[in-house]
Amino acid sequence: MVTKMKLKSVKVRNSELVSSKVCNLPGCDTLVTPWAGPGSDLCEVHQQNHKDNGGMGNPKRPYTFNRNTINEITGREADEELKEHWNKCKNQPWYVSWEDLSEEMKNQIRRYYLQVDHKDGNHDNNDPDNLIIMDPISHIFKTVINKDHLNYKYRT
């Protein structure tokens, strides 16, 4: 969690406790976090995983909070694959070693690299059994071959 976060006011925390306010993500019934700032309408675990706090989750796409760091197509840790690509960039003027990147920067790179695919092509079906973590190239192949880029409602 970002170290600059402050606790919500006592009045706000008491109000949330009395009303038993729970995490805003579908399927999570944990009480909301006591911390103010990005993700303050989420439970503490989901707030820590909020992209604005350096995590992997994007509240506009709740299924991204289920994202792990395994490429389910290759079965490899994303960091292994990313380091291979990263090391190919050693001659670039912007290059720094992977180990020298902050965890927030690594998570931002992971968010771009690890894509969540809806197996059935239906973006309204966010059931965890319908989601798979993929690298961008595999995602493109699957999307084009299955015509997922077309509106699933109108497929023939």
Sole residue written with tokens 């989750």: 57
Mean pLDDT of 116-143: 87
- The answer to whether residue 70 scores a pLDDT higher than 90 is no
Instruction: Tell the burial category of 106 from Cβ atoms under 10 Å away from its Cβ (0-12, 13-18, 19+).
Output: middle
pLDDT at position 143, please? Answer: 87
> What distances in angstroms separate CA 1 from CA 36, 53, 100, 125, one per listed residue?
12, 6, 19, 29
pLDDT at position 95, please? Answer: 92
Name the band, by pLDDT with cuts 50, 70 and 90, for residue 152. low
CA–CA gap between residue 108 and residue 128 (Å, rounded): 22
How many CB atoms lie under 10 A from the CB of residue 67?
21
Residue 33, Ramachandran bin (φ over 0: left; ψ between -120 and 50: alpha; else beta): beta
- Side chain identity at residue 9, one-letter code: S
Mean pLDDT of 67-83: 84
Choose among 107, 1, 131, 124: nearest CA to 56: 107
How many CB atoms lie under 10 A from the CB of residue 122?
13
Mean pLDDT of 131-155: 81
pLDDT at position 2, please? Answer: 45
- The answer to whether residue 155 scores a pLDDT higher than 60 is no
Mean pLDDT of 20-34: 88
- The answer to whether residue 137 scores a pLDDT higher than 80 is yes
pLDDT at position 62, please? Answer: 83
pLDDT at position 68, please? Answer: 73
